Structure 1
Amino acid sequence: MKGKFEKIKNQLKTNFANSVKMGKNDYNLFSILRKDNEEAGLHSAFIFSLLDTDGEHYQSDLFLKLFLCAIGYDNFFDDTKNVIVKKEYVASDDARYDIFIEENKKCIVLENKIDTSDNKGDDEKSGQIDKYIDNLSKDKKEFLLLYLTPNANKPKNTTKYDFSNDNKILDKNKNEIGKYGLISYDKEIKNWIELCLAKVNNPENLAIYLKAYLEVIDKILGRYRSVMAMKIDNLLVNYENYKFLSEMEKYFKNGYFEKRKKEILNKFLEKIKEKFEIYNPNLKFKILNEKERKEEEYLFKITNDNIENFFLQLDYQAQRNSVSFGIATKEKFEKQNINKDFKDLNSFKFYKDETYIYKEICNKNLIEYILEFDKNNLENSINLASEKFYNEIDNNFEILEPILEEFNNNPNRYLIETTQKDHK
């Protein structure tokens, strides 16, 4: 093991040194001066500095026009040269806007939230956004409220107003009082910065800062790859290296290896989800988020419409390194088992408490399952693994579908009474 570790370590050192010689680095002025997720001091300040038509970039309203284009409101203002942009604008005791953009009787308010818990005070009766809308509606201006988050999340704790699907803010009488937009760093802000980059070949220093800010966005989205991380990624493509490095996981800083495994797993699951949406939309393949995974101890689920007494279950047991697919009984039948006299099960088995009939479709660690299809090409291995995994489920669904229908049509025939002792 020591020899293998030394070989990989030396390979990493050599690859890293070669990258450094080529000028690769992780130097970023924004990250040095501020925390990457700092809303006011970094993100709002930089966004304002570009939007400000009198800013020291000396590009007049160019960046403002490109911003309006990126959010889909190119013609919101009559003349962008007359627009005034303010940072941390105090409109009232209850309203302090991160960025305020105004022209005569029109205005845009941008609320920036890296951390989307917008109402942190337990004693507040309504959320921050409610107070903003209260104040904006009093001014009798045509307004657009932009809520900027990493992934276009909706604001929390809005109790007085409705946000319609066509971007209208409605009062309790369903009257429109303004417009809103849910925008994200992942889409609109990245697109905007890229549009700005395309326009500023000269002066060169602006392009440097814009590129550096794109890196900061990747950091808050969890997508930034450091020079060393990219070198480790290259090693992970090799299956044997992966197996060895997984044994050395405790030596990696900042949980890097664990994060990388999650990225591989999520890519795999997303590809499976895409296949269900295209080829089998009646089955809903749901990827659980981190909170759901902790609460339910599942990574993913399959559901089908019109669930009655029995339902399809896709079960992943991480401790046993097993994925199974079958038919289970609903919780209301906790004192009843599936009748074992039912013979037409092909290769399906009964679970130990007899409330679940299943077939095992994977009996190893999911990451190892994913990587073994192409031991030299990670992307291809993910594609091949997701194809195989989906086909296993789809083929077994063809067998289970008539059985599921029969079970639900005749539940009394296929359920038998049991005792609590049987379930222990």
Structure 2
Amino acid sequence: MEDIKNIKYLLRDINIVRKKFEEREKNEDNFNMFTILRKESDEVYLHSRFLSALLDPNGPHRLGTIFLNSFLDKIESDFGYDEKSLEVYPNNQNRSEYKEIDICFIDRIAKKAVMVENKIYHEDTNHEDKGQLENYYGRLIEEDKIPEDGIEVYYLTLDGHEPSEDSVKLSGKYPKLQDKVKCISYSIEILEWLRVTVKECYNKPSLRESIIQYIKIVENMTNNNTSEDEIKEITSHIGMNEDNLMSAKLLIDNFDHVKWHTTYDFCNELESELRNRGFEILHKPVEDDITNLVHGGPIKRKVDMAYIIEKGNFPIWINADFDEWIYWGICNDKEEEIKVPKALLPKIKQFASENSDFEKEEIWICWRYLGDNENDRICLSDFSCNGTFRLISPQYRKMIIQRLVNEIEVFINKVLKY
């Protein structure tokens, strides 16, 4: 009990620090043109385009190869190029991806290339017979005649995690690829590189301010937006005495257990709420899935959690894919054992076509994320997400679960009226 009491005192003190800095932040200028025009997670139209605009020696910054060279240095690249024969995609004249590669540098004379696959929250888009990175890598070899030894492959994510095994070796056509992929992150390489680029823009205020605003987006996405002053004050409170030190250690040592119990309680409470509302559970995660998700190693923890529920012969899929926000909708996969009744399909398709709140994608007739904005959304594998972390609160879990089930019930009722 003494340990719990000490933790309460420590959290009370840190809560005071948090509120003080939140109050200070309210008075700061937080206007950001990027987030006004694009979603923070927009890989293609925000992140890839802005990064490539800086990397392109012929870009609107008019600073030549300064940014490109510092980037290559930061990621420890061996890419040598001739500026006269270098091509960077996307660029100011051609804003499209090069053969679907997010960011690409090619020197056709030197027969060298760098491909950067940019992943914010999405998983790899693999085909039945070929992985995503295999596909892009193969195009550079077969269509552009770049030898394998002349290609560098970078996988850019928020935290530097690896691509899926299928992405690099599903076809087995390029055995060298798996060892060639270098993982880089927004939280380390990109942030450090951007902070260097700002110093090169001392006499270009518009460019400097744009990079500063973009840095704030990256800091927010990677949870690097805590100020140095705030970190110092939190550190001071933790190190103030032995009780605070041991309380902080107790929290850190047990946080994986907190995540497991939070995920377990969320799944159990969701199932209970669904049954209370008259849904039949056709498929659900098992306890081993939760254990692997929280305590598993780099491969074992990549668990996709899924529910298939049904009410009145109306099936609904609720998915919590690894590294993806929870979403729900109607899946029309021919390989699924559970099928959507033929009589329902036209109604669902008509509803989806008339409602912009729902997306359509491949086997999904319609789907949408749980949560109105990115700050509310839940990724069960990532407790650094605000929405996921809040699930620790029983009151918040109850509210989120009721919102999810309410959304599904409203959706079913509306579709059936068509």
Provide TM-score, normalisation by structure 2: 0.47
Provide TM-score, normalisation by structure 1: 0.46
The structure in which a higher percent of residues are strand is: 1
Structure number with larger C-alpha Rg: 1
